[in-house]
Every structure is written in C-alpha cells, then in structure tokens.
Structure 1
Amino acid sequence: MTSASLRSLVAGNGLSIGLELPLDNDWSPVGDTTRRAAGRPQGVPDLTQHATLARLADRLGFRALWARDVPLYDPAFGDAAQVFEVFSYLGYLAGVTERILLGTAAVVLPLREPVLTLKSAATVDHLSNGRLVLGVASGDRPVEYPIFGRDFTTRGDVFREQVAMLRDWGQTHLPAGIELLPRPQQPVPLLVAGLAQQSPDWIGAQMDGCLAYPGTPPDHARRAAQWRAVAGPDKPYMSFIHLDLSEDAHAPLERHRFGGRMGRHALVAELEALREVGVQHVGLHLRRNQRPLAETLEEVAAFVLPAFHSEKPRMQVLPA
C-alpha cells in the first residue's frame, strides 16, 4: 500500500465502514415529500445539516466520507450528488473534521485541467493532514464532454496521461525550474472506479485499489476475484451499499437496487458476507434511508462499527 491513509482505510477486523455523501435522505418517501415542498429538483439534496452530520460521522468513528464528482446537474439523470465541487468541498470538510478520511468516488480526470487537478488534490491532502484518498474514473456521461470542450471518444487516452502525471506529480510535464506547490505529504493513493476505458491488466498494475459498483455478495465474490487476479492480494477492493435501516433491529434484508432495507442484525450479516468474499471497505449511501440520519448514524456506530473496526478477533456485536 502506498500511504497511511490507505492503510487506515482497510485497517481493523478485515472490513471498514464509511459514508457516501450527500448525508441526506431525499430519495426516501419522506425526503421526497420534503424536497417537493422546498421546490428542489429531483436528485438535489438538502445540505443544511451537512457539516453537523459530517462532524457526527467523524466523532462516531466512521472511517471515510466519499464525495462524487458530478460537475453538472442533468435532469434526465436526476442526481446532483453532493452539489458542491468535489475538491472545494473536501477542503471544507477537512476543516470541520479531524480523523475521518476524505475520498473521491470518483474524480472524472478527462474533464479536468490536469495541473489544477494536481494542485487541488495536494491542497486537500495538506488541509486534511494526509487524509485524502483519490478515486478516479474516465466518466460515463457523454453530455458533459462537449460542454467542457473535451472529446468523449478519447477519454481513455487522457485518463492514462493524467494518471502518469499524478504518479510523478507533473515533474515530466513542467518546464525546468517550474514547481507545482504544494506537494502531497505522502503519495496520494489512486483508486479506480470501473475500468476507465483501460485493460484489466493495466488497471491492476497502475491503481492502488478498486472502487466497485454496488452488488450482492455473489457479485462481489466474482468481481473481487477478477480484481485480485490482475492487482494481486494486497490492493484493497471496496464498494458501497444503499442502506435503508429499519427501526426493527431484527428486520430481515429486503433487497432493492444497490442495497436494501434491513435491521442492524441483517446489516451486520450482510457486511460479514461481503467481508468473507473479499470486500475490505463499504461506504453506506443513505439517500433512501427513511429514518433521521443522525439517529441512523448513532445506531450503526453503536451496534455495527464495533464488529468491524475492532482489531480483536472477528466477532459479531449484536445487542438486542
């Protein structure tokens, strides 16, 4: 592994748990009603409590906050992610949190000016005292590329070029005597979302970890095996769950797209199953969660995190 932040991300009892931003439940029935009353378009979250909830997640011991790179709101797609520009937002979160890692899931490299991407990433890394984890991707929304004056068809070539710049921090691309400041305090780990228009062998050799699409344990068993076949055993495999946490601790898992509704016992069982097939970090996505998010975070922290973030031998922590 390339950095303390990546080691911290997967440290513990085989699997760690983070949160995917935004911290809002605007996709739940109650959240959708509130959104409509406030006049917000579909997929645009309520961010009035975002700093309070980020501080709470940090205090409770969640391992990472993950921000997506969605520069434009497309009503046809209906998802504005966390609205704020990803590096600016992580810089802000660096100032209101202390320990939680700050990840991108994932920065669309071909849309961005590469030197400014380097400077933005190094800035967040410094402001957070080395807590940045940089997920990268080639992008999958063709409508964005002409708006940014970029070519969608060559995004794979551009992705490779920018990864090379991230690895040497632009040294081979800058004129003699010109320096890009600040430099990262340590190598910034690069996690890939998807294949980014590359071959599996290239991805396995060049990337430090994998951010996989949500799926069931059998899905991840297959994908994790494919990842490790090209990346080796030491590069982490991570994914996400769209969680709707029931008030009934014993409620069984009812799967929906990308996750499910379940009580905390079923959540622990699902996370155990993911750990057993090779998933090392899971980000919880709570936009479909029907309960207040602060209440949900408190319950997960009290009854779920101890089963996975402890360095002790594996055991389930399942109070009634």
Structure 2
Amino acid sequence: MDNALDYLVSGSFSIGVELPLDNDWVAASRQGSHPGIPDMSHHAELAQLVDRLGFRAMWVRDVPLFDPSFGDAGQTYDAFTYLGYLAAITERILLGTAAIVLPLREPLLTLKSAATIQSLSHGRLLLGVASGDRPVEYPIFRRDYALRGENFREQIAILRSEGRDYLPAGIEVLPDLHPSLPILVAGLAQQQLPWLGEHMDGCLAYPGTPDDHRRRSAAWRAVAGNKPYVSVLHLDLAKNRFEPLARHRFGVRAGCNALIDELTAMRAAGVQHISLHFRRNHRPIKETLQELATEVLPYFHSNDPAAVAIA
C-alpha cells in the first residue's frame, strides 16, 4: 500500500474499530472475570471478520502494565507483537496503534518494531504515539514522568530520521522503512499544538460530541492544514434501529438510524475517521459488526468495494 493515510481518509470519512473486540465493560458479560481484562478467545476470528466486512482500520492500545485502579488492560497483548500477528491473518485493513507510549520504550527498538510491521503488512501501519498518562508506570520502567514531553520529542526525531542521525557510521536499523511511516499523535503529548501540527502526520483526538470535534478539528487544521483528524466513539448499538441516541461517557447508545446521523454530524464537524469501541456494547460483537457492515458502512464507504462484502 503506497499511502495508508490517504486510504484511511479516502471518501472524506471512514469507520474502523478499536480492539479488543469484546464487551467486557458490560457487567453482564464479565462472568467472574476481572473487570478491564477482555476475553481474547475469539480475537483472530473477529479481526478477520472486520477485515472482510470492509472496516477501514483496526487500532490497538499500548498498555504495558495492567493497573486495576485504571480499569483497562487494552487488548492484553503487546501492541507490536500483536500487530505482526494481525498483519499475517488480514489482507486489506489498516493496522493502527492508539497509541504507543514512546517515553517508556527504547527508541531504536520502537523504530525496528514499527519498520517490521510496516514491511510485514505491506505498508498498512499507522503509528499512533503518545507521551503516556499512567504515572505508576514510569518509576517501574525507570523513566522520569516529568521529562516525558522532552523524551517524546527526542523519540520523534529518531523515528523521523530512521535512526540515521543517532547511529555510528555504517550502523543502521533494518528493515528499511518503505513506504515511510505515518505518525499520528494521541492528545497533545505534552507539546504545543503548533509543534504537533508541524511534526505529526495526523491527530488522534479523544472522544467527544460533534460540537467538541468542530472546535478541536478547527484548532488542529489551523496548525496542520489538511492532515487527518481521527477520533474514537464508544458504541452501544441498540437492536432497535429506531432507538434514539443517548450519550454516555465517551460515546453513545443508539440504533442504526441515530448512529448514522451522529457519524454524519461528526463528518461535518471535521472528523475524517472514527474508530468504534465496543467494550460498553450489550449485544454480541459479531452480530453488531455484521449489522454495522450492512446498515452503516454503505453510507460512508460507498466507493470501497470491500465495504459490504459479508462472509
């Protein structure tokens, strides 16, 4: 794939998913499991289904350590290792990180991991990066929480130069990055917005209403031009397609009709890609994905031949 970012926003708006594809935040689904730790027993089947159904991207979290007080283990697997696996079992869907916590990682190994995924996936990687927001992790990794913003800038420079400005003559990181690596920032990463607009290829914005996104996307475009503005929506899809929209923290409960209206409003507000997060969803995930593919994706992916190719 020559340009993953162009494909992400082709048609002006696209829809993806955030992994894990599980509804473990719904009390009835826990069945004694620890809240925040998802059931990954069907993860491969569901990832392949998402690919076949025509969702544009799947995003994984970088959660190095599970902190029960924070209540979220992400998809439990290491982000880069998991993306290597997903690259092998999927064909077309983009593979995104939302987001790698750069200050906790050794930068040249981050570069090598990203280059490896980019090569194995034939250019499908979208590298979302962040400075991190869990203070408990930093002393455990022997990192200085107060310096995470400075460390973030240093690591971006290493990624952009592919390590060449930081290695002795004749030493390099393989594989070569081709195509070049799209880097998107989650939040502000302890930086000023103009710096992010100059150095990042896209923005991973926190969840919000269409009005929130209208303000945020305008601020982003003032410093970044037409670079992609991406966000996430926590979705509880109602079985009744006519059920009206009700907002909850970070998202909505809605039937398909109201969801289409909400996504249309987000597109008008400047959002170019939205990833759907299902951990508050009450219905079975497979059933939800199939309904979205038949009832929602065609409104937004009409030029994508994979959009309604239900297996």
TM-score class normalised by the smaller sequence: over 0.9
CA–CA distance in structure 2, aligned partners of residues 22 and 184 of structure 1: 27
Match of 1:31 among 29, 32, 35: 29
* Residues 1:257 and 2:249 are matched in the alignment: yes
Match of 2:130 among 112, 137, 148: 137
CA–CA distance in structure 1, aligned partners of residues 208 and 192 of structure 2: 22
For the residue of structure 2 that corresponds to 1:159, the secondary structure is helix
CA–CA distance in structure 1, aligned partners of residues 38 and 263 of structure 2: 27
CA–CA distance in structure 2, aligned partners of residues 54 and 120 of structure 1: 21
**TM-score, with normalisation over the residues of structure 1?**
0.93
CA–CA distance in structure 1, aligned partners of residues 29 and 169 of structure 2: 54
Deviation (angstroms), 1:183: 1.4
Query: 2:163 maps to what in 1?
Result: 170
CA–CA distance in structure 1, aligned partners of residues 244 and 168 of structure 2: 60
Query: 2:55 maps to what in 1?
Result: 62
Query: 1:76 maps to what in 2?
Result: 69
* Residues 1:42 and 2:35 are matched in the alignment: yes
**Alignment root-mean-square deviation, CA:** 1.3
Q: Report Cα offsets for 1:173-203 as digits up to 9, x if no partner.
A: 0110111100121111010011111111101
For the residue of structure 2 that corresponds to 1:176, the secondary structure is coil
Deviation (angstroms), 1:31: 1.4
Q: Report Cα offsets for 1:63-90 as digits up to 9, x if no partner.
A: 0010011000001111101000000000
Match of 2:144 among 151, 165, 171: 151
Query: 1:288 maps to what in 2?
Result: 280
Query: 1:309 maps to what in 2?
Result: 301
Q: Report Cα offsets for 1:238-287 as digits up to 9, x if no partner.
A: 10000000000111001100111100001100000000010000000000
Query: After the TM superposition, which of the residue ranges 23-32 and 164-173 deviates more from structure 2?
Result: 23-32
* Residues 1:4 and 2:3 are matched in the alignment: yes
CA–CA distance in structure 1, aligned partners of residues 83 and 58 of structure 2: 9
Query: 2:92 maps to what in 1?
Result: 99
For the residue of structure 2 that corresponds to 1:124, the secondary structure is helix
Query: 1:196 maps to what in 2?
Result: 189
* Residues 1:117 and 2:110 are matched in the alignment: yes
Unaligned 5+ runs, structure 1: none
Unaligned 5+ runs, structure 2: none
- Indicate if the aligned counterparts of 1:29 and 1:290 stay in contact, CA closer than 8 A: no
For the residue of structure 2 that corresponds to 1:271, the secondary structure is helix
Query: 2:290 maps to what in 1?
Result: 298
Deviation (angstroms), 1:30: 2.4
CA–CA distance in structure 2, aligned partners of residues 181 and 87 of structure 1: 16
For the residue of structure 2 that corresponds to 1:79, the secondary structure is coil
CA–CA distance in structure 2, aligned partners of residues 150 and 125 of structure 1: 28
Aligned length: 305
Give the % identical residues: 64
CA–CA distance in structure 1, aligned partners of residues 135 and 176 of structure 2: 32
Deviation (angstroms), 1:227: 0.5
Match of 1:16 among 14, 17, 27: 14
Query: 1:270 maps to what in 2?
Result: 262
Amino acid at match of 2:8: L
